[in-house]
Amino acid sequence: MNLWQHFIESLESLTSNKLRSGLTILGVVIGVASVISMVAIGQGATASVTAQIQSIGSNLLYVSSSGGQAVSNPKPLTLLDVQALIDPTNAPDVQTAVGTLQSRATITASGTTASASVVATTADYAEVRSLTVQDGEFITATEVSGRSASVVLGSGVADTLFGTEAGLVGQTVRIQNQPYRIVGVLKSLGGGGLGSQDNQVIVPLTTAQSRLIRRGDSNRIDQILVQASSAGGVAAAQEEVTNILRARHGTRVGGDDFNILTQQDLLGTATSITGTLTLLLGGIGGISLVVGGIGIMNIMLVSVTERTREIGLRKALGAHKWDIRLQFLMESSVLSIFGGLIGVAVATGVSKVIANIAASSNTAITPVIGLDSVLLATLFSAAVGLFFGIYPANRASNLEPVEALRYE
Amino acid sequence: MSDDGCVIEAENLTKYFEMGEVEVQALRGVTFKIKRGEVVSIMGPSGSGKSTLMNILGCLDIPTSGEYLLDGENVSHLSDDELSDIRNRKVGFIFQSFNLLPRMSALQNVILPLRYAGANKLKDRAMTALEAVGLADRVHHRPNELSGGQQQRVAIARALITEPSIIMADEPTGNLDSKAGKEIIDLLLNLNRESGTTLIIVTHSSEIAGQTGRVLRMRDGLLEGGV
């Protein structure tokens, strides 16, 4: 008997008990659908996080103080360090560098209160972080040198305090009870993944140093943002920044009192986190696929028992062991492959629904159903059907024709 | 010991079963021959070893000892798959309970042995076989749409289709009323006369046994009256 004939017979046999076949398939459908949709969501999340990290700016290096007990006599980062980094001779791959002070503060305006992060910095910050203002203008160099009480509001803060993002320039907000004049409102960056991008306010560095965020040393800053001149220059810029800061801080090799994090590092961390997440979700889906496979095995065993006489008859008529084995393997594979195909369809639907839910809650995750995950899930489900069909099929093929024909 | 006129040569067949601790001797040395084209009935009370003998003659089982030649071929020591081939080519089975597959039409049921034979022109041959048993107008009916007598005719067509050396009929009228039963026996005897296929009928009915050329009576694992 050829494969095609076995296939046709398996269809006839399976359709003769539609409810049972349907329920058996359901296990595989759920398994395959969950594997594919989970992986799709995971990949969508990876893409979304990657896009958010890239939206922070391009070719950035984050320099911050570090150290602790391992480092003897650590020195803080200062504005002088920033000046030293903007040096075309010693650091040709550094395009620009800005220092920042960061803190959280309570901001009030006409009786409304908001908690936001305060970033104190200089005029170049907007360019480095790819920030744009939708209304007014960013902090200017004049305001920085004049220690002016100006503030640029993030769109989220503006919304919270005023319920609008337009026409706020010239109004006053109070940060830690000190009055600041609004000079601009930032465009929304969107994305809740990293939290507070829209929930920040920006003030001139000098103003913060003198009265808002006091650190021990008047020149001290929390972080230096360095922008490399090109994507290819990030590694070189990192090298140059390291050398300059080591020379300025007089640290020993291996005992740096600062830490440089590149955007690639961030991306790598995020990708590895979401990758683990995808694996975890896919694994949970995989478990349900195995459970579905066990369901197939269960039904196939019942089916073998029910059809003992049929097996005996087929053997009496000349079926070889292999014919019987193939018959049952074909049935279990057909079940699981159909389950796999329906599962792919269900996964597509589920991903669409989840994309819609994500979009409506402002986190743009676009689930990615790749051909690879579809193929993998379908092949895997076929393999599950084969694997869990082997035992029942062997049991069927090893029945003695005399015994099987006598079976009631 | 091959004999040209004989389709079945059984030499001192024995069959023992292990039933727990006890060994049951179902056949205790049976020797006989059946000529080509003969109609033979096998009778005997239950427990006489008649089913065991039938299983061995039908190549569903092999003897514990002794030699069995079917159509000149020694089949006493074959493997399961080799026995399957022998059954497919040389034995046609007719069962008391018809044993048709309920999902398949009469035609598909008749074709089934040919599929395992890997033969071609399946439909033409099945049609011819169904015409021979008088069911040309029922080929696309399923078993549950046919009467008992009609179902047994389908089974006969299925037994005939591979042009076997012997047809083994195990109580072929056991599930039929007397009228249908008589028709089935007449049909089998007719087919034997026309095609010369050897026919072995296992039966309780002495009426049926009386219509066969020869009766083998089993008792306690032995043939009554020797040969």
One-character DSSP codes across A296-355: HHHHHHHHHHHTHHHHHHHHHTT--HHHHHHHHHHHHHHHHHHHHHHHHHHHHHHHHHHH
| Percent of the residues in chain A that have a pLDDT greater than 70, as a whole number | 95
- A307 lies in the same domain as A182: no
pLDDT-based confidence at B2, cuts 50/70/90? very low
Interface test with A, best of B60, B83, B151, B166 (most A CBs within 10 A): B60
Q: Per the CB < 8 Å rule, is A320 touching B81?
A: yes
Tally helices (H) and strands (E) across chain B.
Answer: 7, 10
B80 in contact with A at a CB cutoff of 8 Å?
Answer: yes
- A37 lies in the same domain as A119: no
- A304 lies in the same domain as A155: no
Q: Note whether A54 and A329 are within 8 A (CB).
A: no
Q: Per the CB < 8 Å rule, is A318 touching B89?
A: yes
- A187 lies in the same domain as A280: no
Contacting residues of B for A316, CB less than 8 Å apart: 58, 60, 87, 93
Provide the residue type at A357 as one letter.
I
The mean pLDDT of A99-120, rounded to a whole number, is 88
Query: What gap in Å lies between CA A208 and CA A101, rounded to an integer?
Result: 8
> Could you say which of B88, B95, B104 has the minimum Cβ distance to residue A318?
B88
pLDDT-based confidence at A370, cuts 50/70/90? confident
Contacting residues of A for B101, CB less than 8 Å apart: 310, 313
The SS3 of residue A116 is strand
Query: What gap in Å lies between CA B29 and CA B10, rounded to an integer?
Result: 9
Among A192, A226, A256, where does a domain finish? A256
Q: Read off the tokens for B172.
A: 């072929």
**A264 belongs to a structural domain:** no
CA angle B172, B177, B179 (to 5 degrees): 95
- A192 lies in the same domain as A240: yes
> Could you say which of B93, B101, B103 has the minimum Cβ distance to residue A316?
B93
pLDDT-based confidence at B130, cuts 50/70/90? very high
pLDDT-based confidence at B226, cuts 50/70/90? low
pLDDT digits (tens, 9 = 90+) for A165-205: 888 888 899 998 899 999 999 888 765 544 557 888 999 99
- A46 lies in the same domain as A180: no
- Range from A221-230, A358-367, B61-70 carrying the lowest mean pLDDT: A358-367
Task: Provide the domain count of chain B.
Answer: 1
Q: Note whether A311 and A398 are within 8 A (CB).
A: no
B61 in contact with A at a CB cutoff of 8 Å?
Answer: yes
Q: Which structural domain, as residue segments, surrounds residue A188?
A: 67-256
**A334 belongs to a structural domain:** yes
B55 in contact with A at a CB cutoff of 8 Å?
Answer: yes
- The answer to whether the complex's ipTM is over 0.85 is yes
**Could you tell me the CATH number of the domain that includes residue B152?**
3.40.50.300
**B66 belongs to a structural domain:** no
pLDDT-based confidence at A69, cuts 50/70/90? low
Q: Does the reported pTM lie above 0.90?
A: no
**B147 belongs to a structural domain:** yes
- A335 lies in the same domain as A392: yes
- A293 lies in the same domain as A170: no
Residue corresponding to tokens 């195909």: A341
Is the predicted pLDDT of residue B44 greater than 60, yes or no? yes
Contacting residues of A for B93, CB less than 8 Å apart: 316-317
**B128 belongs to a structural domain:** yes
**A36 belongs to a structural domain:** yes
Backbone φ, ψ for residue A138 (5° rounding):
-80, 170
pLDDT digits (tens, 9 = 90+) for B169-178: 999 998 999 9
**A192 belongs to a structural domain:** yes
Q: Which structural domain, as residue segments, surrounds residue B111?
A: 38-61+90-222
**B20 belongs to a structural domain:** no
Q: Per the CB < 8 Å rule, is A317 touching B85?
A: no
pLDDT-based confidence at B1, cuts 50/70/90? very low
The mean pLDDT of A214-235, rounded to a whole number, is 83
**B33 belongs to a structural domain:** no
Among A195, A224, A256, where does a domain finish? A256
> How far, CA to CA in Å, does A63 sit from each of A118, A266, A329, B110?
18, 13, 62, 84
A7 in contact with B at a CB cutoff of 8 Å?
Answer: no
Q: In chain B, positions 157-196, which contact chain A (CB-CB < 8 Å)?
A: 158, 162
**B18 belongs to a structural domain:** no
**A60 belongs to a structural domain:** no
Among candidate residues B134, B133, B97, B99, the one with its CA nearest the CA of residue B113: B99
Q: What is the dihedral of CA A180, A183, A185, A186, to 10 degrees?
A: -100
- A233 lies in the same domain as A92: yes
**B69 belongs to a structural domain:** no
**B166 belongs to a structural domain:** yes
- Sign of the dihedral defined by the CA atoms of residues B203, B11, A398, B157, in that order: negative
- A49 lies in the same domain as A84: no
> Could you say which of B61, B88, B116 has the minimum Cβ distance to residue A402?
B61
A401 in contact with B at a CB cutoff of 8 Å?
Answer: yes
Among A256, A289, A304, where does a domain finish? A256
- A251 lies in the same domain as A105: yes
Q: Is A237 exposed, middle or buried (0-12, 13-18, 19+ CB in 10 A)?
A: buried
Task: Provide the domain count of chain A.
Answer: 2
- A49 lies in the same domain as A80: no
Average pLDDT over all residues of chain B: 91
